[in-house]
Amino acid sequence: MDGVQLNTQMSAEELIKLNMQVDSYNKSLNTNGRVAQQELGKDDFLKLLITQLSNQDPLSPMENTEFIAQMAQFSSLEQMTNMNQEFGKLNSMLTSSQGVNTIGKTVDIDLGGAVTTGKVNAVTFGNNPQIEVNGMFYDMKKITAVYGE
């Protein structure tokens, strides 16, 4: 093994060919309705890690500490994603609860320059709760004042 040398550098021709393949692949993704995102998700992180592991130099593999650090980052990302989903659920519950508290009360609703006033008769639940006032449903975000009775 004394006379064997391993060349890990790409020639200019190989680099150009690789860049053309990457550009071609990226263009094919964009024509299939794929929308470019500005942030990486957990799936993207895992794909990058797998690619890094499968393309590492066998004579100089990734250090265990690097691998453990990347796995810890992945675990943190997973937990943050889960927390974000739970905060979304909590926000929906709190907003719906606020809507229930307006039932039977008089509210002012901003209609983009005009204000309508009326008594809240019903509330819908979900990610975007609405209130029924004067037979019409309005987004709760449009309430500008609530009056007790």
**DSSP per position, 23-77:** HHHHHHHHHTT----SS--HHHHHHHHHHHHHTS-TTSPPPHHHHHHHHHHHHHH
Q: Which residues contact 138 (CB under 8 A, 6 or more apart)?
A: 109, 130, 131, 132
User: Rounded to an integer, what distance in angstroms lies between the CA atom of residue 132 and that of residue 22?
Assistant: 54
User: Rounded to an integer, what distance in angstroms lies between the CA atom of residue 131 and that of residue 141?
Assistant: 10
Reading the block at residue 53, the tokens are 């592991």
Average pLDDT taken over every residue of the chain: 77
Residue 28 has pLDDT above 70, yes or no: no
User: Rounded to an integer, what distance in angstroms lies between the CA atom of residue 143 and that of residue 120?
Assistant: 11
Contact 139, 130 (CB under 8 A): yes
pTM of the model: 0.43
pLDDT for position 24 = 75
At 5, is the pLDDT very low, low, confident or very high (cuts 50, 70, 90)?
low
- Residue 144 CA, distance from chain mean position: 30
At 51, is the pLDDT very low, low, confident or very high (cuts 50, 70, 90)?
confident
Mean pLDDT, rounded, for 81-95: 85
